[in-house]
A = this chain, B = another copy of it.
């Protein structure tokens, strides 16, 4: 069997529209929040019928998940691009990058972390893995900063630090809860990481 398919006109148009639909949905979520996203608005903006959206994504959740998938990909790409020179600086930069992404795409990140599936359907494995991979990015620098410590301990520590940073950022940016200005948040995150590293016995430069 030949898996190298010739890209037909049909395939090209299909992919093009899929991309367009995700693009439109992302724009709507980003600007007005997940709760305001409507299938009909997406279909209208894309100039196609509601049925085509269903044909492409199965259901509403499918569309949302496709947007969320790309969100976590974009986040991971951004975090992965952070230079990994000095491990201490690496941690700070990871936190900064996360903050910048969260500030720019607050609603998209909320959609990723807060969206619940209909009827307890399982959360897609691939998105879960990508989130885990993002969580793990603090692992490498922590290993370098804490040589000799138990491997699993450091892994848990990495996940915990990431969760802490996530909490500080997501509550910090929550407008309804008197948001801290991003610059102020940036300082706080830096202080948080320094303090925590000091507590772990890492000498400060």
Binding site for B on A (CB under 8 A): 33-35, 110, 114, 116, 118, 122-123, 128, 131-132, 156, 160, 163-168, 170-172, 176-178, 188, 192, 194-200
Copies in the complex: 2
Q: Chain B residues with Cβ under 8 A from A196's Cβ?
A: 195-196, 199
Determine if A177 and B128 form an interchain contact, defined as CB atoms under 8 angstroms apart.
yes
Q: Chain B residues with Cβ under 8 A from A178's Cβ?
A: 128, 132
Q: Chain B residues with Cβ under 8 A from A199's Cβ?
A: 194-200
Q: Which residue of B lies closest to A122 (CB)?
A: B176
Q: Chain B residues with Cβ under 8 A from A123's Cβ?
A: 176-177
In the assembly, what is the distance between CA of A132 and CA of B131, in Å? Answer: 29
In the assembly, what is the distance between CA of A35 and CA of B131, in Å? Answer: 23
In the assembly, what is the distance between CA of A160 and CA of B118, in Å? Answer: 33
Determine if B198 and A160 form an interchain contact, defined as CB atoms under 8 angstroms apart.
no
Determine if B176 and A168 form an interchain contact, defined as CB atoms under 8 angstroms apart.
no
Q: Chain B residues with Cβ under 8 A from A192's Cβ?
A: 160, 164
Cβ of A21 to closest chain B Cβ, rounded Å: 23
In the assembly, what is the distance between CA of A167 and CA of B116, in Å? Answer: 18
4 closest A-B pairs by beta carbon, nearest first, are A167-B167, A199-B199, A164-B164, A123-B176
Q: Which of A163, A172, A177 has the most CB of B within 10 A?
A: A163
In the assembly, what is the distance between CA of A80 and CA of B199, in Å? Answer: 28
Cβ of A41 to closest chain B Cβ, rounded Å: 15
Cβ of A128 to closest chain B Cβ, rounded Å: 6
Determine if B197 and A116 form an interchain contact, defined as CB atoms under 8 angstroms apart.
no
Q: Chain B residues with Cβ under 8 A from A171's Cβ?
A: 163, 166-167
Q: Chain B residues with Cβ under 8 A from A188's Cβ?
A: 156, 160
Partner pick for A160 among B122, B166, B168, B176, CB 8 A cutoff:
B168
Determine if B167 and A163 form an interchain contact, defined as CB atoms under 8 angstroms apart.
yes
